[in-house]
Each structure stands twice: as C-alpha cells, then as structure tokens.
Structure 1
Amino acid sequence: MKIRNRVLAAVLVLAAAGGLPGLASAETAAEYYDEARGYFDKGKYRSAVIELKNALQAEPGHAPSRLLLGRIYLMRGDAAAAEKEFRKAREAGAARSDWLEPWGRSLLASGQAEKVLAQLEPQEEDGPELKAAIFELRARALAAEGRFDEAAKALDQALEIQPERASALLVKARLALQGGRREEAQDLLDRAVKADPSLAEGWVFKAQLAQEAGELKDASKYFREALKAEPENPLALAGLAQSQLLLGETEKAAKTVAKLRERWPDGYLVNFLRGWVALAQNRLEEAGESLTRALNQAPDHAPSLFMLGIVHLQQGHFNQAIERLGSYVKKVPGDNTARRLLGAAFLKVGKPEKAIDVLQAGVKEGSADPRLLALLGNAYLRIGENAKGMHYLEQAAEQEDSPAIQTQLALGYMATGKTGEAVKRLESVVAEAEGPGYADLLLIMSLLKKKQFDEAEQAAGNLREKLPDSPVPLNLLGVARLGKDDLEGARKAFEEALRLQPDFSVARVNLALLDQQKGDLEAARRQLDKALAADRNDLNVLMARARLELQAGDQEAALKWFRKAHERNPDAVAPALVLIDHHLRAGEPFDALNVANAIHERQPKDPRVLEALARSQLAAGEVSGATATLRKLDALMPDDPRVRYRLAQAYMKQDKPDLAEDALREALRRDPRHLPSLLLLGKIALDKGDAESALSIARRIKKDMPKQAAGDALEGAAQMAAGHYADAVRAYRAALDKQPSSTLLLDLYRAYEKAGRRQEGETLLRDWLARYPQDASARLALADALMAAGDYKEAARHYRQVVDRGVRNLVVLNNLAWALLEIGDAECIRYGKQAYELAAKRPEVLDTYGWCLVRSGKADQGLTLLQEAAVRAPHMPTVRYHMAVALKETGRGDEARKELQRLLKKNPRFPEADKARALLESLGG
C-alpha cells in the first residue's frame, strides 16, 4: 500500500498544540530563561516551554525567551506560533542575526515563500554567516515557487560564502533530486549530514529517500538519528512509525505513536497512526474509532479515508467501505489499490456495473496494473459481456514485467506471486471458491502463460462443467489445445463456443488465427469480417485484421486497419503505439508526435504511452518536453534503467553531458549490466577525450558480458582515440568475429587505414563483399578506397553497382561521375546531371558536372556551371582552373589567361598547378 508518502505530506502541514500555561512567580525573566535553557539542552522541551512562558509573563519583552520559545515551536512543527515569537523578539530589540534566519524558516514552514522573497535581502552590514543564511532562505522560497534555476543561483551564492553549510547543501540535494539527479542528491545529502550531524532535517530527508527506495530498515535508522538531534521532531516521529508499520514492527510503531501522542494528544495525525496500528493488530473496532476521529478532525485526510475503507471491508460492512473508498478515490484517482478494493466492494454487494465504472476509470488513467485489469475482466464476465471480460483478463496475463496473478478472495481481490507457489495458492482457492469460476479462470490463464497446456486443458474442462452455458471455458479449452498443436480439437472448441454465443469475438479471432496458420488468409478474413459485422469497433478484431494483412505482406492495408483500430478506439494504447512506431520509422516525427499527444491525453499515466511520447518528442526536436515526459515516466518506473537511459539521451541532445552522466550512473545503479547505458557512458568519455575511462568501461563490458561484441567495439573506439591503431585493429576484429555487421566492418577498415595497413583493409572489404554482395556500405567504402588509390575504373564499377540498385545518393552519384570522367567515359555526364538535380547549388557538384561537359566537347554548357561554382567557392583553385580551360575552349583565351595569372599568383601550389602553368604558357602568358 502506498501510504508512506501521504503520511509524510500530511505531517508537513501539522500545527502543534499550545503549551501549558506558566505560573506566576517572583523570579525574574532571566532566571526563568536560564531554567528553560537547561531543560532545552536536556531535550525536555515541555518543561522548557513552561519556564519560557513564565519568563514572558514576568517580562513580555524578554527577547531571549521569545527566540528560544520560537525555536522550540519551530522544531515541534508549529510554524505559525514560531513566526509570532520571532516577530515579537524582533520588536523586543533582538539582534538581526538572532531572529532573521529562524523567522524566515517559520515563514517558509507556514507556506509564505512570497513574504520571504519580498522581505529578506542581505544587507551590507550583515556578517558572512547571516548573508549565507539569507541566500539559502531565498533559495528555499524560490524552489517553493517552482523557480528552480533561480534557486540554484541563490544556493551557489550561499555556498560560495560557506562551502560546507549543511542546510544549504541539503536544499541543493533536494533540487538535484527534483531534477532527476538522484546520485548527485545522495552525495550532497551525505555531505550535509557529515558537515552537521545534528541537522535533523538532513536525517529526515535521508530517511525519506530510503523509504522511497523500499529500504525501510535504513529509513528507521535515519529517523532515529533525526530524533537524537530533535527528540520531538514530528516528521521524524511520524516517519519512524510509518517505517515500523511497513516493516511489520507493530509494537515498536505503537510506542513511537505514543511518543507523538504526548505532543499531540488528540491530533488527527496521531489518530490516523493509532488507527493504522490497531488495524495492523487486527483490532478493527478500535481502528475504526481512531480513524473516524481523525476524519472528524480532518475530513479531507485521504490516508484516513483509505484505511477506514479497509477496516469496513474486513468487517464486512461493504456499503460503508464503498462510501469511504469512493471518497478516497475522488481525492486520489491514481491509486489503483484503492480502485481495486472499491471495485471488489461493489462486486460483493452485487453491483458489477458500478465496479466497471470505477475500474474502467483506472484503465483510462493509464493503469496497466494486471490486478486491476483482471478484476475489471471479472466484472464484465459477471454482466455477460464475455468478449470484453476475456480482453481484460488477457491483457492482465500479458503484462510481461508483472508477476503472475493469484486470487486471495472470492470477490476478486488480487495480489502477486512470482514462483510456482503462486499456482499452488490458486489451486487451493479454486478448491474452496464459492463464486462463479473466477478463480478457475485466473488459474487457467496462469497455466497458459506458463505453457502448461495439459494442466490448462484439464482445468478448462472442469470450468466447463461449472459454467456449461458460457463460451469462455470452451475458448480457453481451445487455446490450451492450440498450445498442444491439437488444431482440430482447438477448432471444435472455438466453433462450439460460437454456437453458444455467435457474437463472441474472442473465439472468432482464434478461428481466424487457425486459418492463418493453415495459410488460408481468405478464410481468416471472412472470420474477422463476421466479427466486425457484429461489432465494427471491436479492438481485438481490428488489430487481428491488421496483423493478418501484415502476414499477407500488404503494409498499406495493415496500416489502414491499424488506423481504424485507433480511430474507433481512441483510448486504446496498442494501435496508437503501432502508428507512432510506423511514423518514426518513416521519418515522420511530427505525425508520430500528434498520435502520441492524443493518446497521452487519454492515458496520461501509462508507461508505454509516456515512453512513446518521449521518443516522438526527441525525434521532433522537442527535447525539453521529452525530458519532462521522461521524468514523469521515471516516477512511475523508479527501478527501470531504461528510463534513465532515455533521459540521458535527451540531455545529450541538449548538450548537457554532465547531466547525462548522472542519469546513466543512476541507470547503472538500477542495473549494473544495462548495456545501452554503459555504451553511452563510454561515448561521453570519448567525446570528452577521456580514452582511458572509455577503455575501462569496455573492459567492464567484456568481463561481465563476454559474448557481447559491444565491449570489443568500444575498446576499439577507445584505442583509436588514444592513437593505438594496432590495438584497435585487434579489438574491432574480435567484435566483428562475434557479431558480423557493416558498422563493425567499416570500423575495422578505418583502423587498418590508420595503422598504415590499407591493403589488408581492402582485402577485408573484398572478402566481405564476396559473402555479402548486397552490402552497399561496404561496397562504397571499397569504391572510395579505390578512388583514393587512383583506380578509377574499378572504383566506377563499384559505384555503379550501388547506383544500379536504386540508390540516389549525392556523394555516390558525384563520385561515380568523377571516376567515369577520369577514365574518359561519356556516361559521366549522365551521373553528373543526376547529382546536379539533387544539389544544384553545391560547388563540388557544379564542378564535376561542368567539367564532364567541358571534357565531352560541351564547353559552352560546362562554362556556365563552372562560373557558378567559382562564384560559390572562390577558395577552390581546382574549380578556377577548370573554368579557365572552359574559357579557352569557348574561344575566350584572353579571359582564360587573366584567370590563370590570378590563380597561380594566389595559389602557386595545388593539384593541377603544373597543368595550369602549361596552359598559361600556351596562351602566351
């Protein structure tokens, strides 16, 4: 149950009860103050408050008593009372350095960030410690208003004055965590508590992080450290009680709650925690009384509503459970545990339609929770909508990353199990169940998922006896037989299911699948068309129709059906994801983004949708949007390394490699063997010129994943960066042997080139092309090498093979034209023109095409192109030489001579310089 964060949030808004009134005394305020100070130093805050109130009764303007009383109120969570005392201390003449910082903290604790920003500015006469405190307070206020960049700047100012200011480091840690940089946050937090071990706020924050990570024992330890510094800290007491309850340490939690109760004898949070303790001890009546008191005091306290709903469920008071859980779900619509309980309560009182409303809303909120889906499927079965029921049950079973589903109660309350023990519990529930076969259904689906088809067939037969008029058991029987390759038996079961319910589309789709397996696609189409005639919007049928066309090889028809599935079921995730992937593959990022935004509006919390939205945003260049989306996804999937890897990619697109590194380290904390994160970390190291770090990562990959080519490939890249070309050859060769690919081949070829072993590189390319003649990348690399070596005829042969396969690449066409020109082949004009049509303003393309025309006797046409090339690239002497030749060939010798004179004066050395001099001499220059 996700209670802990709600408890902590609730504690933040507590207001402490007032202290006991002081007694009149002849003692002076100073004497009372001294007594109070002694109590304070011993942690006896209640006694200290009594003495301080006595002091202020004796002397209302006693500033030290005001300051200490405000400090105690602030420690105990009564921010309003604390602010009042600090203000009165100021009026009583307390030094600015004594009252200003705690006053600012009390304003922040009572939600008055704007007042801090308006009234707290460092003054010239302030000492360095006070200036640092003011900058920190401003940073906290700015962060409270969501102005995180400004908050970071204010913190830098504070830490410039006091580099190890613990409370400022703590705020910086919170900003790092808010920005998704968990590792940085942890480091800053560790620095903070090391700099000031008595900083209770630091220990509480450390405990909260541990709680969120599920490290409850560590959380308890850190909360105790906070209580050593501040024995009455409400956040620490409440957090400790919560951790103890979640650890099952109910007796310890009861004692912690008792301590909290000493401070707030009848506060709503105390009553809530008392109710939680009583519920954990199965004292349901007492739990109900405490939680009811909590709600009387704080009617909107959501955790109390939730807990009281659980109490009513366990007492069998289902209508009261519905009332409480219904109110809770309205306040916290994303809590699917509560939705499941509320849905189960509706089923228990015989209202499956109400259960469907509640559970369906959870699906629309983006839940892929298999337990909620399974319960929704059961609700649909209860009202006879078998196709929909099976659809949701299948969705539940298909959640690959979720544990297998088990039944804990006949009403459908679901929990998870990962091993064969889960199936044993299911079998036990089936034997004892009194319901209409729901537990049997889940058992069968679990067996099918585990590919235990014999057991599934037997269980489906048993269910058929219990539900003789339902098509569902027959459909499951058919699926089990299909898994056993009993195609005839499967067909009979599906056909019998359709005799019982002709519009049962699930069985119709399965029959179509059998026809597809036989290769009879027309028969499969007929089956699916019958299903669509009954319900043209049926998502499963539309998706099956699309997959059928994919099998037939008709991509356009498949896409048409996927679009229909999406248009007719705008809430459905599956067709939207297919369309998004299609648009991204087709290089249509904005179309992908349109689809992603539309499904995100309808399913804002579905991790699959968020991941697809982030990919679309990145492809469309909306990097900041992708970053925000990935942070939301990270909150939903805090243990998944893939999210942090995607976030690192987004940071790289923003040219923020340091943030990318932080994200990747967090990904590797979650999964030390996450290969994409390791490789991107290696790339960042190479980009920074740190070949040694990249080499270290490569060796780590090779050690942990010796069969992966990626480790050798990264080692090759690191060795290339370090100038160790022979070592790079060895590494790339090892990678290529493990995973033959064009990319690794070309990496190895470049390593050969750098190592001065060009001939071996060419042999490598020729051998590869003998095995993979269709590899255009390898053929182009060989053609480029031959071109560089002056073997124009052989280079032209390879370029032409690539072009003849339909490749219209500018560089390839231009190079082919040039190679043909060098061997005097008039075909150079054809390919030069094709390159020109692709890029009519590129000077190198104009030069190639123009020079081809000149050399082929079409100097007039060629001159026009060469003149334009010369204007666009006046720095390229070869172009100007070609233009001079064209001028001479068109009878404009004087202009040619002047051009050559200017050219050779400015560029005495270039590849055609000797030819230019000879031409100039022939022109009388």
Structure 2
Amino acid sequence: MDPISVSIGLGIFAAGGGLGWWLSHTNAAMEELSDGMVLLQEAQASTSALMGKRIDAIDGSINKLVTGFEGVRAAHPQLDGTILAFEALNGDSDSLAALETLIASIEIDADHKTSPLMDAGPAKLVISLIETIDDMSTLNPIDSRKVALIALETGRIIRAQELLFQSYQDLPGDDLTLSILEHCSILSGDIIQQRHWLEARLLLNPDNPELLRSHAHLLANLGDHGAEKDVKRLEALGLDTAADRSLLSGLRDRAGARSEALEAIESALAEDPSRSDDWCKRGEILFALNEMPKALESADNCLELDRQNGNAWAIRANILSQSHGRSSEALKAAIHAVALDAGGCELIMLKSDLLEAAGEIEKSDIALEKSLGRNPNDGQLRAAIVGRRLMEGRHTEAWNILNATPETVIHADIFVVEGRMNLAKADHLRDGSGITDQSLLADAATSFEEALAIDRESGIAWLGLARVQRLLGQTEKAEETLTRARRLMDDEDPSAAAESALLALDKGDLELATQHIDAASIRGEGAIMSYVRGNIAARKGHLKNALTHFNEALESDHLHVRARLNRCSLHMGLNNAQAALDDANTLLEIAPGLGLAKLRRAEANMMQSQWTHARDDLEEIVATAPHHHHALTQLAACYIAMERPEKAEAPLNEALRLEPNHTDAWHQRGLLYLDWGREDSALADFEAAVRCNGDHLDARLHIAAIHHGGNRFDQALGAWRGVLSIDADNAVARRRLEECEMAIATM
C-alpha cells in the first residue's frame, strides 16, 4: 500500500474518531441539557401553581372587600349616595338614581320643621344634583317631597313649590305635603295660596283644633266673616278657649256694627231722600235690629220711589206676616218679592205658607212647583220643599222631588232632608225584628254623614245622626254627637232637648229625661213633647197617664207613627183590644209597609180570638221577614189556638234557632209538647224559658204542676216557692206548697 493511501486511511480514521468523540460529547451535553430543561419545567410548573393559588387568594379577598363595601353602602344610603353623586357629577352615573339614593336617609315624616334634614356635605351634593337635573317627573311623591325640603332649606322656594305640586298631584290626600305647601305660601307672602292649602288640610281633618284656629285668624285678618264658622266648630267640639271666644266676639262686633251703618244711611237720606236703594238698605238694617215699624216704613218709602225693588217687598212681606190680621197684605208683598227674584228660598216658602193659610192649598203647591222649575239647581229650596212634603205626610211626592235633584247639585240641606226621609222610611217599614230596622237606619246615617262632609256646622245634621245612633243602640256615640248638635243649634229650638230626653230614657235615667223634656217645653209644647212625656210615663208604669200624653201627641200630629204605635201597645196593656186594633189599622193606612203595625194588629186580633185574621197577618210578616222570631212564635200560638198543633212546631223550632233566648218561644213549645203528652220535653222547654227569664210566671207554674203531678214533691216544693217569689198572693201555689210539705212529712 502506498504511502498516500495509508495517509488517506489514517486521515479518514482520525476524522471518524474525532467525529465519534464529538458526537458522544454532544450527546452527553444534550442529555445534560434535557435533564436541566425537565428540572426547569418542573420548577416553572411549581412556581405557576403557587402563583395561581396566590392570585386566587387575592381575588377572593378583593371580592370579599367589594361585597363588604357594597354592604356598607347599602347600610349607609348617605355614603352610597355620596359615591353615586360624585360619579354622576363626573358623568359616570345616573344623576336621578344618585339623588334618590342620597335622600333615602331623610325621614319619611320629615317636614319644614325638621332640622337638620341631613349632613351638610350630602346636602350640598343634593343641591348640585338638583341644579343638573331638569326633569324630576319620575320621582315618587315621597322623594319629590324630600327633595323639595332640601330645596326649601337652601332658600329655593320656587323649585321647592314645583316639586311639592308634583308630589301633591300624585298624592293629594297627604297632609304633610299640604302643610309644607302652606308654609311655602307663608314664606312667599301669598295669603290666597295659604288659605287654599289650609282649607285643603281642613278637608282632610275638619275637626283639627289647631287648623281651625289658624284658619279663623287668617280669615279674620282678611276680613272674611267665615272665621266665625271655625270658632263655632271649636265651640261645638268643646275645645274653644278664651282667645277663641274673644276672636268670635270681635268678629260679631265687626259684623254687627249696624248702628254706624244706619247713621251713615240716614245721613245720606237726609241729603237726598230720593234714593230708593238707601231706603231699602235702611229697612234691612232696621229689620235686623228688630225695629219692625221703622223697617216697614223704610220699605214703604222705597216702594213709593221704586215699585220694582224686590228686597223692599221681601222686607214688607216678612214684617206683615208677623202682624196679626195683615196676612193678605203679606201675601201680596210676598208674591211681588218672589216675582222679582228677591228673598230667596225663605220668601218662596213664606209665599206658600201664606197661600195655604188663605185656604189656597192648590195654589200653594203650584207656586212651589213653579219656583223649583225656575230654580232646579237651588239645593236649599228643593230641600225645603221636600221637608214640607215630608211634614204633610206626602212621602211619595217628597221622594220624587228628592230623586229629581240634578247630579250637579251638592248641598248639605239636600242630604239632611234625605236623612230625614230615610228616618221616616224606617219608621214606616219597621218590623220590630231589629235586623230590618238596622239596615233602614244605616241609610239615614249615610245621608247625615254626607251632609256633615259638606257642612260640619249643621246642627240639624248632627241631631239627625245622633237620633240614628240612639235608635241603633249606640248610646255613647249618640251622647257625644248630641252634645255637638246642642252647641250648634239655636237655644230656642226644642228638638235637641227632646232628643236628649229620649236618649236619657234609653239609658234608663228617667229623672234626667224629665229634666230635658221640661227644659224643652219652656220653648213650647208640641207633638214631640207629648210623645216623650208619654214614653217617660209608660216607663214609670203610669199607663193611663202615658195614654193621655200619646193622645195629646196625636191630636197635634195625627201622622206621628211612633206615638200611635206606643198608644196601640198601651191599649193592649190595658186590655183594650179594639182600641189597639183601631190604631193598628190606622197605622197601616198611613204606612202600609209597617210590619210592626201589622204585628200589633195580629196581636190585637189574638186578644179577641180572631185567630184567622191574626194568622194571615203573621204569615205575611214571616214571608217578608223570615228572620222575625217573635212573629214566628205568635204564628205558632195561632196554630195551637186553631187546633192545628202539627203546624206549630216548625215555626217554634225556627224561632229558637234564630233566637235561642226567646222566652215566649220556649214557653209556647213547652205548651205544645204538654198538649202532645210529652211531659219530659215540655218540662225541659219550660225550664229553658225560666233560664231566659226568671220572672216568667206561667213557665214556673207549669214546671211546678208537672213535678207535682208526677209526685216529685221535693222538686215541686222548690218550684212552688219559685212561683210565690214572683206572685206572693198566688192561692194555687200556696195551697200546692202546703200539699207538698204534708206529702214530704208523711214520706
């Protein structure tokens, strides 16, 4: 082998060896690097996991911090609102939402007297928000009022009023808003608005003494005589003070300075006696001063100058109607006055009275119809005519006139007369069951309450409500209401005193009832006086005296339903069945629907053994009022008397179901069972009757007789003694008692 080949081979061997060494060394380095990378990856993974845990912990802490902060904001609306306000002012949040949140800390019953409403810082933010918000119409009425209070506190009265108006429109019955509006009107010096808001508050709280005093003083400062109405209401409530009475005295002095006015008028007439209006004014002043001759002279002087002066004719009519023997002149004057639309409702009714007094009853009615036709919206006139028809017993006509009232006519007198009509309706439809009577009286109460909603100084409305409350058995309410009526009504009106007597009678105080009716009679006698005296005498057990009084009442007013009903009952108590029957028949002619009169007629017929007639009336009553337990009991008594006992048990069972304490029903059923030979059942019913009324003599007699007949002498002995405790002179009971004692002694 040549040297060149050897060299080449050696070179190739050396190069291969070097390459192998390099590859081996490189492989070791790569393995070492791979191991390092694995270690590095493991370290990185561990570090990443650790970082993840730390980040999760930080995230949880942040969430807890945010949640806690949200809780703090929720618990402190002012803080929350402060943050939202800053965001809103920077344009990053809703300004209205921020405002609502910020004012949430203000108390819901805060008003213009509350100070401070909120801290100074949040209050400034509220003002800043108010300045940036143009439309706050979406605020609820409470929030509108709160924002208004902040505005008011910072002197922004106009903005406060705008927000309060908004609140009032959404919540018109809120007294708090009204009181702040009233305060705003005082600050702005607007007396008219002050009066408006004060009267709006009085509509919500008509008997609030502070509001009444504020209103009275405001009206007095305005020279409005309506202030007297407020003081009178305080007087009616029994809450008037010396200052209130002083104000009332001043008002009356101011209103009653007629002497100065009279001097001025007479001075003017001395200079120029040809002024008819001055003569008329002089006549009005003199009439008010009760100087009738001079007033008539002035009216005549006026009419000599001006025959078409209606007020002068009205003065003349009023004066002559009070003068004996001059009614025809008064009628002519009244006709002139009404024709000239003078004198109002008073002259229209006077003209009607004078026509009736002259025997022109038909013309009187026609005159009223024509006047009402010309003045259909005159509530006072319509009420007066309805009241006239009511007094005349022309109830159908009265209801027709009342029901024809236009819907636009809202007058206290209309509701008062409606209440009176409902009371009369109750009197004409009573059945004595209590249930029917209550529903009828409830209508009357509603009418009087509506009248008082319009005019709380209507004494007659309070009197009517008191009467309803008394008839419903609400004696405490009736006494309070009646006290208010007496304070408002004229001292010369005996109605309140008569009602007081009836209330005292219902409470069992006969002495007080007598005192009230004696006081009322000083102002004149009448049907109501005799009626009350009759009730007092009847309650005292003086039946004949009571009968005399009821006779007097019916002589004065033959349409007095309650007086005739009471007289009917008295006749029955005096065993005068025919007289009772006559009264019952008369009542049914006056009021065909009067169930109580029909019941009295049935009972009067029962007294005369007219069982068929009695049964017919009682069946009609039960058909109309199936809840009438007394009528059911009396119907059963009729069946028993007519020897139809099989028809008696069902009505008695129904009566006892309706009224388990009805003594007569137990007694009647006991008689029925006794007639059937069912002594045990009869005895149980008689004992139930005695439990209901321990003084029921007949039931005790039957109990004693049953025990005696069954030879149960021990029980009979006690029963006969019970009879004698009620009727000590009962000969049968005394004889039977001796028999029991002898029987027991020989046993």
Same structural fold, with TM-score higher than 0.5 when normalized by the shorter chain: no
**TM-score, length of structure 1 as denominator length:** 0.34
**TM-score, length of structure 2 as denominator length:** 0.41
Q: From the CA coordinates, give the structure whose radius of gyration is larger.
A: 2
